[in-house]
Structure 1
């Protein structure tokens, strides 16, 4: 089971309801954000394991190539 939550002080608020009775002992594995490259590597490994291939041209034209707005300081 994988669930997400957010730490608030000494408590962890879960985003989803879980079907575990009160008083039941549980074990947590904590993952923090900011591990982009490791997560990307894991994602790619999952795709490879499933035999899924995304053609590079799928992402053509997705990103705006303009220089953006002028910033006046």
Structure 2
């Protein structure tokens, strides 16, 4: 189960109801927002969870494969 919340002092406010009884011990893994690779991973997980599939052909010839301009030193 993944839930999102925000830290306020020594408390964490959870943005949604979770179906666990009061007094139940839980373990929290802290994951902060930020960083390209973390954002990319979250995006991919969201796509997977929603059953969205991007065909590999979408990314074909996306980047220029030329060696670029000549550099004179």
Report the number of matched residues: 54
Structure 2 unmatched runs, 5+: 60-73
Does 1:26 find its partner at 2:26? Answer: yes
TM-score by structure 2 length? Answer: 0.57
Structure 1 unmatched runs, 5+: 57-73
Q: Give the SS at the match of 1:22.
A: coil
Query: 1:52 maps to what in 2?
Result: 53
- CA change 1:20–1:37 in 2 (3 A) is same
Q: Give the CA RMSD over aligned residues.
A: 2.8
- CA change 1:47–1:23 in 2 (3 A) is closer
